[in-house]
Chains A and B, each alone.
Chain A
Amino acid sequence: MNALEIRNVSKNYDRFQLEHVSLELPQGCIMGLIGENGAGKSTLIKAILDLIQKDSGEVLFYGKPLDSSQTELKEQIGVVFDSIHFHEVLTPLQIGSISALTYQNWDENLYQKYLKDFKLPEKSKIKDFSKGMKMKLNIAVALSHQAKLLILDEPTAGLDPIARDELLDIFLDFIQDETHSILISSHITSDLEKIADYITFLHEGKLLFTKSKDELLYDYRIAKCGEADFQKLKSENGAVWRKMDYQYEVLLPDGKTIEHNYPDCPFDHAKIDEIMLLYVKGERV
């Protein structure tokens, strides 16, 4: 069963088009959404949440169409943006009261537990919180109404490594029972390498690929080679390359299989940010 299905979603702006994006997020999985600035990640998330009008396509949540009128479906979705959207004079206690009246399945005990675990003072105003504390509060709210799907738009942006690590642990705990799912958009690819099951890459409004993280990290290779090897490698299936000062960097989706054909050429495992860089800046046949 797919927690989320996006079918052929498009959105046109004057200077940007999100074109026919389709993807599936299986239940119990974490999907990382990557792409350069302006690739369309936030636009896609807004289209999923019906914050913008789609020009075409549909979004299904557990097989049911998701739009702004489907309030019972939204009970099961927790959303975290990159900043907190309550006014800064509110306290966690007040936000809890507001949320209790908004969500039918609001769990006040669970919310209090998260406030305690995250060490968030419940009577202090949000304006006195650090960025990390605000993000933890956001997540506490998102996790306290029995959501089955978390949609996170840059939740770890601007956080120090310790805070990021704490949040990643929370996300991993969330999907432990395999009935919960997460769609997370992030520039911090190292975070996605830690927790994601799937990676979806958006580039200039187009979906370049959706692959499992294991395939990207274990099958993809980057070859750093001279001219002779490059001329052979560039004709391999799916090869993307970039000419550097003294060598070529060639990204090979099937590098694991073909690296033994090039014994003189060093092959490295590809990291997600390297894959991104080559896809964005590289050339291909």
Chain B
Amino acid sequence: MKRKGLLLNDFYTLKDQYFTYGKVMLALMVLACLINISSELTELSEVAYLMSPFAIFAMSMMMTLFTYEEKSGFMKYAFTTPVTRKSYLQEKYLFSLFNTTAGILVGIVFLLMYALFHKYVPTVQDISWMLLFSGGEFLVSMVMSIWVIALNMKFGIAKARSILLIAMVAVVIVGTVSVPASSLTAANSFPGMQWILIAFLFLFVAATVWMFCMSFRWTERKEL
């Protein structure tokens, strides 16, 4: 019951943001439809990128929420109420799950509407691909949310944002350099790079699981 109160607080806190983002996203999507109005759609995967903003938006809402909470000092108040620190953290993960799921669903709906706008009927293969892509986006968005929540509990939202920014830049640089080098057919491929990338992926997954587990300890020990 206590988590319902926290969920409601989070929803009310972000309500205006949802409306603002919704209007912006709607405008961007209308623009996307109009810009590509004359082009023919042959496969849904051609416009996969149109789903991404919704998943990113869902993850960024967690950052916005923590920024607002830090500004208002809500966590300090919440820990004086009959809400345990563990419940507080569990609710944050639950809220990020709702956010991410909603973001992905809206992305799917938009993609289908985009297809219909271009008089394209999605095939079974398109739907399968879309679900696979959505699953991947869901995982990425949830992983990002775990990092946001955990780092916020440890360092506060300002430092968490900086750390995440550095991490994302590092991933982009590493990906830009290493993905071509890992390709078996590319002229500049590096044979061992695939294994390095796989090892990196394992490390990243392990780090994410560790962050998730440690976030509960950090929350218990957080001083306000």
- State the A residues within 8 Å of B (CB): 46, 49-53, 68-69, 71-72, 74-75, 77, 79, 81, 83-90, 94, 97-104, 151
Among B2, B71, B79, the residue within 8 A (CB) of A49 is B79
Assembly CA distance A84 to B77 (angstroms): 9
Q: Are A72 and B82 in contact (CB under 8 A)?
A: yes
Q: Are B13 and A104 in contact (CB under 8 A)?
A: no
B77: chain A residues at CB < 8 Å are: 79, 81, 85-86
A79: chain B residues at CB < 8 Å are: 77, 80
B72: chain A residues at CB < 8 Å are: 84-88
B contact face: mostly helix, strand, loop, or mixed: helix
Question: Which chain B residue has the least Cβ–Cβ distance from A79?
Answer: B80
Question: Which chain B residue has the least Cβ–Cβ distance from A74?
Answer: B82
- State the B residues within 8 Å of A (CB): 1-2, 4-6, 8-9, 12-13, 15-16, 68-69, 71-74, 76-77, 79-85, 220-221, 223-224
Question: Which chain B residue has the least Cβ–Cβ distance from A51?
Answer: B224
Listed A/B pairs (6) with beta-carbon separation below 8 Å: A74-B80, A77-B80, A84-B72, A88-B72, A90-B12, A97-B8
Assembly CA distance A178 to B79 (angstroms): 27
Known A-B contacts A79-B80, A102-B81, A102-B82; A87 and B4 likewise in contact (beta carbons under 8 Å): no
Starting from the known contacts A101-B1, A104-B82, 20 additional A-B residue pairs (CB-CB under 8 Å) come to A46-B223, A46-B224, A51-B79, A68-B220, A71-B84, A72-B82, A74-B81, A75-B82, A79-B80, A81-B76, A83-B73, A85-B77, A87-B12, A87-B69, A87-B72, A98-B12, A99-B5, A101-B5, A102-B82, A103-B81
Question: Which chain A residue has the least Cβ–Cβ distance from B13?
Answer: A87
Q: Are B79 and A85 in contact (CB under 8 A)?
A: no
Which of A69, A89, A99 has the most chain B CB within a 10 Å cutoff? A89
A87: chain B residues at CB < 8 Å are: 12-13, 68-69, 71-72, 74
A contact face: mostly helix, strand, loop, or mixed: loop
Assembly CA distance A99 to B80 (angstroms): 12
Q: Are A102 and B13 in contact (CB under 8 A)?
A: no
Assembly CA distance A87 to B2 (angstroms): 18
Assembly CA distance A53 to B76 (angstroms): 14
Assembly CA distance A94 to B14 (angstroms): 13
A74: chain B residues at CB < 8 Å are: 80-82
B83: chain A residues at CB < 8 Å are: 71, 102
A86: chain B residues at CB < 8 Å are: 9, 72, 74, 77
B69: chain A residues at CB < 8 Å are: 87
Among B5, B15, B221, the residue within 8 A (CB) of A102 is B5
Assembly CA distance A98 to B10 (angstroms): 10
Question: Which chain A residue has the least Cβ–Cβ distance from B17?
Answer: A89
Q: Are B8 and A98 in contact (CB under 8 A)?
A: yes
Q: Are B79 and A68 in contact (CB under 8 A)?
A: yes
Q: Are B223 and A53 in contact (CB under 8 A)?
A: yes
Minimum distance in angstroms from A267 CB to a CB of chain B: 44
Counting from the closest, the 8 A-B pairs by CB-CB distance are A101-B5, A85-B77, A102-B5, A71-B82, A79-B80, A101-B4, A87-B13, A52-B223
Assembly CA distance A94 to B223 (angstroms): 27
Known A-B contacts A49-B79, A51-B76, A51-B79; A89 and B13 likewise in contact (beta carbons under 8 Å): yes
Minimum distance in angstroms from B101 CB to a CB of chain A: 22
Assembly CA distance A46 to B77 (angstroms): 11
Minimum distance in angstroms from B12 CB to a CB of chain A: 5
A49: chain B residues at CB < 8 Å are: 79-80
